[in-house]
Amino acid sequence: MESAVVNTAETKDRKARRKPESLSKIKSAARKLFVERGYDSTRPQDIAREAGLGHGTFYLHYPDKRACFLAFVEEARQEMDVHLRDARRPGQALEQVITATLNAIYDYCDSHPGVLRAAMTDAAVIDAGGGPDTPLMARWGEEWSQIIREAAAGGTACSSYDAAIIGQAIAGALHQAAKEGARGQQCRRALADNLTRFLVRALRPD
């Protein structure tokens, strides 16, 4: 009797969850392969196979390869967002915001190796005619713009900059330094330390 109830419950659960189950398999398989091989070298078929599913199942969840990649990027962006929000405390001075942010970024990179690299694949690689959304870099540039605007308003950052420009510049600086720092096996501490000082000086109020 009880088992019947349990069974029913299980059944309902399964019914409700079955789709999401295969979706999440596809999702993580896609993430794994996009990270390991990149967008171009990952076929929908590979993703499905990696997930232990048939080819067609992929198209049950995404209309095409591009949509799957975009979903992966969005997921990474949101994870990163949460990570950053957790790292920042309201009322922090600019220097602390910068330190906290850089540390959060490098933490994320350490714990999710390759994910950001993959997620930042140039839009040109993905699009086949369609218009893309704002790339990850540009979004982060805008977030920095916002930080600068607020700091400038609060008097903790130089207010004579065009925040839109400098925000993008900062995003670019962090990205490229990390990218080539990774190449040169520069240790993460040096990276965080140098960039923090660099930005703090550059943004310090007059």
Residues that bind its own copies (CB under 8 A): 38-41, 121-122, 124-125, 128-129, 137-138, 141, 158, 160-162, 164-166, 168-177, 179-181, 183-184, 186, 190-191, 194-195, 197-199, 201-202, 204
Q: What's the min distance (Å) between Cβ of 173 and its own copies?
A: 4
C-beta atoms surrounding 165 within 10 Å: 12
Q: Which is nearer to its own copies, 40 or 81 (CB)?
A: 40
| Residues within the interface to DNA (CB under 7 A) | 11, 14-15, 18-19, 21-22, 40-41, 43-45, 48, 52-60, 63-66
Q: Which is nearer to its own copies, 60 or 67 (CB)?
A: 60
Q: Which is nearer to DNA, 63 or 91 (CB)?
A: 63
C-beta atoms surrounding 62 within 10 Å: 19
Q: What's the min distance (Å) between Cβ of 119 and DNA?
A: 18
Q: What's the min distance (Å) between Cβ of 44 and its own copies?
A: 15
Q: Which is nearer to its own copies, 19 or 179 (CB)?
A: 179
How far is Cα of residue 134 from the mean position of the Cα atoms in its chain? 13
Residues 93 and 104: their CA atoms lie apart, in Å, by 16
Cβ-contact 72, 119 below 8 angstroms = yes
Q: What's the min distance (Å) between Cβ of 97 and its own copies?
A: 17
Q: Which is nearer to DNA, 57 or 186 (CB)?
A: 57
Q: What's the min distance (Å) between Cβ of 20 and DNA?
A: 9
- Name the binder of 22 from DNA, its own copies, none, CB < 5-8 A by kind: DNA
